[in-house]
Structure 1
Amino acid sequence: MASVPTGLRLKALRERRGLSQEELSRIFGFDNRQTLQQIESGQRRLTAEELVAAVREFDVPLDFFTNPFLIAGEARFSWRRDADTPVSDLDAFERQAGEWIGAYRELRAMTGNPVSPIVHRLNLTRASSYEDATDAGEAVARFLELGPVPSRDLAQAMYDRMSILVLMVDAGDGISGAACLVRNLGAVLVNRNEIPGRRSYDLAHELFHILTWDAMPPERLDDGEGSGKLQKRVETMAEKFASALLMPSWLLRSITGDATDPAWLNATATGLGVSAKALKWRLVDLGRIDRGTARAYDDDLLVNNGGLVSEDREIPLRFGRPFMDVMATAILQGHISVRRAAALLDVSVDGLGELFGAHGITRPFDM
């Protein structure tokens, strides 16, 4: 298991508090800030006394510095959430989600299958056009070989072809999901309780951020509040990319029908796993619907995912098969106990067994 980066975690706490290195050095009683610089850069470890002082000063559990699965200080997140969702709720969920991602990364390595350090990137910048983003979406759809219903196969293809982890989670009201970038790994979190069209869009949208993070780093809170002109442009590029990825032009050309008929839009969108409104504007971009006609639509006729969504709609299983496969292998090889795995996933031991069974994985422990 990789050593715990306590220096990075201390730096994350310092920056969250808004303290300078000089200020925190004084709190610790260091003669100069060079000592703290060495700790934060990993050149020097915290002593036991310093660790206790950090726990007391920042009011965090000791686990914050000792848990190998946490990725505080290492990871960058970009969240899609409603503007009125409390940031405190998001902070708490980010810590939990980060532990899932960190556990996946560490346990994969321990079971002999470390994540690949080779990552994919799109050759796009803020200076790229919306057409460039659209072309990139279509190119990725071809690369991933998504087939006639891209939304259905996207999550598995991201994992198989790009080593990007997709986690279906219970994120709480107002949180749609997130993109996360951490050493050697990109991950996407999707609120599994959203309607299908929203889930598909969020997944494709966050894939754009994973593939363009270095050139166009997204804001932590993607809620439209306070975003600058350049960031709003990046988000529009992400929308164009997602639309083209989920509804590539060659696929839509093969689907015939009256694009001005709301019933056709609803049925087609439902089949594609996208929203009817998104389909409408994609067809505008492709010239199949006049822009003026599209604006005159009564969008109330374009409901949810292109059709009425029943309360008993199919909801994806928690976490996803790749994540649960790693958990099962780690338990079998003795890298994590059953009780710790259950606590990590916030389920009982019985619930953990049921979760493995739901994913079609042989339960890796006896009840």
Structure 2
Amino acid sequence: MAHEVTAARVRQVIKESSLTQAQFAVKAGLDAPKMSKSLTGTRRFTSLELAQIAELGSVTVDWLLGAERQLPALAARAPGAASLEVMQVIDRARRLAQFRSDLAFLGYEQNVPELPRLPERRRLVDQGSYLANQALAYARAKGIEPHEVRDIADAIEDAFEIDVAILDLPDHFDGLAWSDPEAKLIVVAASEIPARQRFTLAHELEHILAGDDQALIIDENIDDPERKKHPSEMKANSFAASFLMPEDVIREAAAGGALTEESFAQLSVNLSVSPSSLAWRLHDLRIIDRRQHEIFRRITMARAADLVGSVGDLAEWIAVSSRSRVPGRLVRGTLDAYTEGKATIRPFANLIGADPSQIRLSIDEAGVPLP
């Protein structure tokens, strides 16, 4: 039955191309007799053949297979974004998810861990911090210490195999988490406020690892106290704080005595978090009192960097966080699929926004074997 659906859709693509079956086979780079056998049911299309047909016909492999994609669970942080702008962001995420779905069909699947979670009857903040500790243990087992990595997108991809994209998004749209059976994706905004971007990455990571099944959630203001009372947001914020500022690391850093403005600033810089977030975390762990919290939370990132002589590092971090980033694992996967003869060069070229013929020439010159 599934093969009949695929054959029917391939015939539809050929018909809409205004080419004969033989002409279509030649243009798609297929063997005409083999394609004829596949259309009559005596052989199956290979994954590469379907990729070539999909490319020429401007359709997806999923559509050729007759696979109706499930709507994803979505969670977003987008204060003040208009509905049209939100839909445009979702459409960009959908295209990235389609790349991942096509790779999964070719055998390049994500292996996102299912981590232990506390029962839902437990406090929301405890659920978030517990999941963060599980995530930290999982990352550390792979030799990754997230709190030591300033540009945490790579760490998330390497530890959890979740695709991470940093894009130019509408003003005040912080991020989005996409989760469907074949694609797990985090999209955050390129930003000149790197600590906020980093917190958002950790926040969206929780939504995926926790399996949050939410419709699109838009935060009118991510700092709005009412918004923070939403159950999923409470868990995600608790997770992000514990993930980026691990309790064992915090307590070790504070073991040398009372924190001064300089030692506090150094800890903020070392952890790549905002002073205000660190002040809340220290107060929550009862390492500092309310008076110290009030003092420390007023320190700006620029002031903290100046106190420890790292203004240049802060400027570099701002420059990095302001740039777009295509998911690294997705880039590697599409290139692997091409070099291993399972896909054409076009998905890789489309993903990085390059001309396919130029990319093919560059790969050829680099000595990468061509299929």
TM-score (norm. length: structure 1): 0.65
SS in 2 for 1:199: helix
SS in 1 for 2:174: strand
The number of residue pairs the alignment matches comes to 298
Distance 1:117 1:271, change over 3 A: closer
- Report the Cα offset of residue 192 of structure 1: 3.9
Q: What 5-or-longer segments of structure 2 have no aligned partner? A: 7-55, 306-310
Distance 1:296 1:353, change over 3 A: farther
SS in 2 for 1:223: coil
Distance 1:67 1:132, change over 3 A: closer
Alignment of 1:200-349 (within 5 A): 200-213=198-211, 216-224=212-220, 232-256=230-254, 261-295=260-294, 297=296, 299=298, 301-303=299-301, 306-307=304-305, 309-310=314-315, 313-315=319-321, 318-348=325-355
AA partner of residue 198 (structure 1)? R
SS in 2 for 1:187: strand
Contact 2:165 2:325 in 1 (8 A): yes
Larger relative contact order, structure 1 or 2 (CA cutoff 8 Å, min sep 6)? 2
RMSD: 4.2
- Report the Cα offset of residue 329 of structure 1: 1.4
Please identify which structure carries the higher helix content: 2
Distance 1:181 1:286, change over 3 A: same
Farther-moved stretch of structure 1 (194-203 vs 123-132) = 123-132
Q: Deviations over 1:215-265 (max 9, x none)?
A: x53441331479988961321221111111111111112224676544433
**Matches of 2:293 and 2:225 in 1, distance apart?**
28
**Matches of 1:268 and 1:317 in 2, distance apart?**
28
Q: Deviations over 1:45-76 (max 9, x none)?
A: xxxxxxxxxxxxxxxxxx9x943479975322
Distance 1:129 1:74, change over 3 A: closer
**Matches of 1:349 and 1:223 in 2, distance apart?**
39
**Matches of 1:351 and 1:305 in 2, distance apart?**
47
Distance 1:286 1:127, change over 3 A: closer
SS in 2 for 1:149: helix
Distance 1:96 1:211, change over 3 A: same
| Aligned: 1:80 with 2:87 | no
The residue aligned with 1:142 is 137
Contact 1:109 1:115 in 2 (8 A): no
| Aligned: 1:98 with 2:94 | yes
Distance 1:353 1:248, change over 3 A: farther
The higher radius of gyration belongs to 2
Distance 1:118 1:270, change over 3 A: closer
Q: What 5-or-longer segments of structure 1 have no aligned partner? A: 7-62, 357-361
**Matches of 2:62 and 2:258 in 1, distance apart?**
49
**Matches of 2:147 and 2:85 in 1, distance apart?**
34
Contact 2:124 2:234 in 1 (8 A): no
